């Protein structure tokens, strides 16, 4: 029998519901895994083991509350929790405790989840790394900003964890750490109680070790089916190198090309797909919007606590990098035009297959890596999933990203599951 800490969320929920395992035993197993590995991985910002075990014992004696009854979940430390500190990865907020839970945390509790602890984030969810390392090689970055969540799930400390994405903060660390990362259609998951970086872009994300887990969490947040619907036919896949293709290393190009070959062999229709020219500069457009809105969302920190911000954070908002209102409006306008074209582009394809990251997690812990292959899709508000399964020249994970049409998350999850089951 495999250790309880290695169970997926669906396996854990099913085991607890059937009485084969208890929440207390599962939480205890996860905590033992954390105690044995945390000094190396550094994925957690806050843990209260006794509190988590007490909650698990109460749930074991209680009627089933919901889909996640007794299952432990990790929460990125920019998401408010009423019973745990939320420091947003910043010295400014060390020890801060919200009087309320973020909406997503409240919904997890309502579904019966045990909030295991708060996972490490980069400083205010930007680019200054936290303490977390890549579980596959501690000399390499785990990505960011949802570094702790990705690493904790990858290292089997917790079956599932929440992150966020403004540029590539779910997809990138999931790819680097070798787990599934899911960014839903913009606006479908609640963001109340999450530290806001950009009101146009911020999206709650999920890390897991199975696609079935993503469907289960999605059911908690939006009421969609808790199990995946099987595709009636093999999907039609558009292989899109994207305008950012020059950033791709051989590890990423090989992962995508191998996936295309495997899917064709399995019966999928795969064809090369090129975005219209209007999409060419969307990565830069996303950055313009992020900088303009970020400067305003972080105005309190920048004006009242400038001396407690990192050099890297301050460099992002230097006056010479400031975006004008006219640049911002033009960026919003172009993004809206591209979103309007997107539905028509998906008429020929069920999903698009694109890069997740330039390649493996870079060496060193001074950077969280380049989000270049996520910027455009975050801006377009499409649902995205990174699928693990490949490795690069250093033996580190390399993912591929699948993109669905806006609002078609259930179809994307089903197609992603179809692909994952047929990859070798």
Q: Of residues 29, 147, 169, 310, which has the active-site annotation?
A: 169
Catalytic, 299? Answer no
Q: Which of 367, 360, 347, 355 is nearest to 403 (CA)?
A: 355
Question: Residue 106: exposed, middle, or buried by beta-carbon count in 10 A (0-12, 13-18, 19+)?
Answer: middle
Catalytic, 6? Answer no
CA–CA dist 275, 390 (Å, integer): 26
Tracing tokens 């093999």 back to the chain, one arrives at: 234
Q: Of residues 87, 145, 146, 414, which has the active-site annotation?
A: 145
Categorise residue 283: left if φ over 0, alpha if ψ from -120 to 50, beta otherwise.
Answer: alpha
Q: Which of 392, 375, 393 is nearest to 384 (CA)?
A: 375
Q: Which residues pair with 114 in a beta bridge?
A: 72
Catalytic, 253? Answer no
Q: Of residues 42, 76, 408, 411, which has the active-site annotation?
A: 76
* The two three-digit tokens of residue 278, written as one number: 């209007």
Instruction: Provide Rg for the chain, Cα atoms.
Output: 20
- Angle, CA 76 vertex, CA 9 and CA 14 arms, to 5°: 10
Q: Which of 369, 349, 367, 348 is nearest to 359 (CA)?
A: 369
CB 188 within 8 A of CB 79: no
Q: Which residues are catalytic?
A: 76, 145, 169
């Amino acid at each position: 029998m495999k250790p309880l800490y290695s169970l997926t969320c669906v396996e854990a929920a099913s085991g607890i519901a059937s009485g084969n395992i208890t929440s207390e035993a599962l939480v205890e197993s996860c905590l033992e895994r954390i105690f044995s590995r945390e000094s190396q991985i550094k994925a957690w910002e806050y843990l209260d083991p006794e509190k988590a075990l007490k909650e698990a014992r109460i749930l074991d004696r209680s009627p089933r509350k919901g889909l996640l009854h007794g299952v432990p979940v990790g929460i990125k430390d920019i998401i408010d929790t009423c019973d745990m500190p939320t420091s947003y990865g910043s010295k400014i907020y060390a020890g801060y405790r919200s009087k309320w839970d973020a909406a997503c945390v409240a919904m997890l509790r309502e579904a019966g989840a045990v909030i295991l602890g708060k996972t490490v984030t980069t400083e205010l969810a930007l680019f200054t790394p936290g303490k977390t390392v890549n579980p596959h090689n501690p000399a390499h970055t785990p990505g960011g900003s949802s570094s702790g969540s990705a690493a904790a799930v990858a290292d089997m400390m917790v079956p599932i964890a929440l992150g966020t994405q403004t540029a590539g903060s779910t997809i990138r660390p999931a790819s680097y750490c070798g787990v599934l990362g899911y960014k839903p259609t913009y606006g479908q998951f609640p963001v109340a109680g999450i530290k806001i970086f950009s009101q146009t872009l911020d999206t709650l994300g999920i890390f897991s070790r199975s696609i079935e887990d993503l469907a289960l969490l999605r059911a908690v947040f939006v009421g969609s089916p808790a199990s995946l619907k099987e595709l009636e036919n093999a999907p039609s896949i558009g292989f899109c190198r994207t305008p950012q293709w020059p950033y791709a290393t051989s590890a990423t190009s090989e992962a995508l090309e191998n996936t295309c070959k495997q899917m064709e062999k399995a019966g999928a229709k795969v064809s090369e797909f090129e975005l219209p020219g209007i999409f060419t500069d969307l990565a830069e457009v996303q950055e313009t919007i992020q900088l303009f809105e970020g400067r305003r969302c972080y105005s309190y920190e920048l004006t009242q606590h400038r001396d407690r911000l990192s050099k890297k954070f301050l460099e992002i908002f230097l006056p010479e990098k400031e975006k004008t209102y006219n640049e911002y409006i033009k960026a919003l306008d172009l993004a809206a035009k591209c979103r309007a074209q997107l539905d028509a582009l998906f008429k020929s394809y069920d999903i698009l297959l694109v890069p997740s990251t330039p390649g493996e997690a870079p060496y060193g812990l001074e950077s969280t890596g380049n989000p270049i292959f996520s910027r455009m899709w975050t801006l377009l508000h499409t649902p995205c999933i990174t699928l693990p399964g490949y490795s690069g020249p250093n033996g580190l994970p390399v993912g591929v990203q699948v993109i669905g049409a806006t609002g078609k998350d259930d179809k994307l999850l089903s197609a992603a599951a179809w692909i994952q089951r047929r990859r070798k």
